[in-house]
Chain A
């Protein structure tokens, strides 16, 4: 492996051993439907905000699960809370409450 150059660029890496799971833990308690997402992307495809700006609600959930909090801070502000994504989700994830709960959790951290 040494010759192969097994170096890791920290800034490129999702460090699953170190990432901050506090927001995720808050969500597990306050919007547990987040656990059931199957990453199908229906929400993103149908999202009202996503038609206008670079916003991916499915990806928000993936980032959340990986403990990637920094990008979340910016992303959650883009949601218009219209609820269209909730209508389509095959797993019944409550995205509106998810967004609000992420915001609450982030506020708590600061």
Chain B
């Protein structure tokens, strides 16, 4: 009898796991909510730390999938029935699917910056998110203020919606520091004359080549790092943004005017992930990300036999970590299917 695995979510983790499982001879159905697979990677222009184009990785993952995986786009799972040893999925299209293993790879959402009202996102013209800046980079359109001015001073606000009790998220989103440094360098590439600031509390350059990128940002691009959390912003008459911060290294309050303020928004668990988790009775952590069976040794398993997790359903992940995690998930699913 053929054993079937259904993967919900066709982002980086879902695509990778699908390819690996197919390589292992498993039959896979990959369900994607959008029109195309690729997830958030489709919106990213260049990737840290080497600033290679995001589409290179996307194309690689897509080519790898080739025709060995049954990809079904525009699919939403409405209900999941857990059987003794299998699962029945009801889709919004009216179809139903049976599978032996289920992999949740539904990923994350970006923090809604409007919730940090003190930063003025969606209130002031020239406050944008890191995701929007990335879209601008990708579109190739000239980057200006909303009034069409070339920005002379650009600020990056770290930890927007992360490490913040008031936003309800105590965790660190892990990749926004390095994203901020990457984007700061890219702004300097475009506007060598511009002054660029990163407002940070801790710079978390946790992975290989990240710290070197930070070094490059200082040494080659003269990017300024100012230690303090931006406390509030206001708009000037010319639509530039004036921000207040404590320069914690001189212990003095500081005000600064910037033409463009970029908010480095963090990860939040997607409602879709939580909806599926509730249907499957999966444990959810205090941070509202899903809990694996064991954080170290069974990181892609859940307490429920046959249900597996990969990537950002478990918290903030970089692309390379999501790819590695999805590979592990595929191996653990394969091992499980062999026991059936």
Q: Do B245 and A45 touch (CB < 8 A)?
A: yes
Q: Do B166 and A88 touch (CB < 8 A)?
A: yes
Q: Let me know if A32 is at the binding interface, CB within 8 A.
A: no
For A58, the chain B residues whose CB sits under 8 A away are 246, 248, 251
Tell me which of A4-12, A21-29, A33-41, A101-109 binds B: A33-41
Residues A31-65 near B (CB distance < 8 A): 38-47, 50-51, 56, 58-59
Which among A45, A51, A87, A89 is the interface contact of B228 at CB below 8 angstroms?
A45
Residue of B nearest to A41 (CB): B246
Which among B202, B246, B251, B254 is the interface contact of A42 at CB below 8 angstroms?
B246
How far apart sit A88 and B229, CA to CA, in the bound complex (Å)? 10
Q: Do A40 and B244 touch (CB < 8 A)?
A: no
How far apart sit A48 and B202, CA to CA, in the bound complex (Å)? 26
Q: Let me know if B253 is at the binding interface, CB within 8 A.
A: yes
Q: Do A90 and B229 touch (CB < 8 A)?
A: yes
How far apart sit A50 and B247, CA to CA, in the bound complex (Å)? 13
Residue of A nearest to B244 (CB): A45
Q: Let me know if B132 is at the binding interface, CB within 8 A.
A: no
Summarize B's interface: helix, strand, loop or mixed.
Answer: mixed
Q: Mark B146-185, 1 if CB is under 8 A from A, else 0.
A: 0000000000000100011111000000000000000000
Which among A39, A47, A50, A90 is the interface contact of B165 at CB below 8 angstroms?
A90
A41-B245 contact, Cβ under 8 Å, with A50-B253, A59-B251: yes
How far apart sit A92 and B170, CA to CA, in the bound complex (Å)? 11
For A56, the chain B residues whose CB sits under 8 A away are 246, 251-252
How far apart sit A43 and B202, CA to CA, in the bound complex (Å)? 17
A45-B165 contact, Cβ under 8 Å, with A40-B201, A58-B248, A88-B118: no
For A59, the chain B residues whose CB sits under 8 A away are 251
Q: Do B163 and A44 touch (CB < 8 A)?
A: no
Most chain A CB inside 10 Å of its own CB: which residue of B166, B167, B247: B166
For B202, the chain A residues whose CB sits under 8 A away are 38
Interface positions of B (Cβ within 8 A of A): 118, 159, 163-167, 201-202, 227-232, 244-248, 251-254
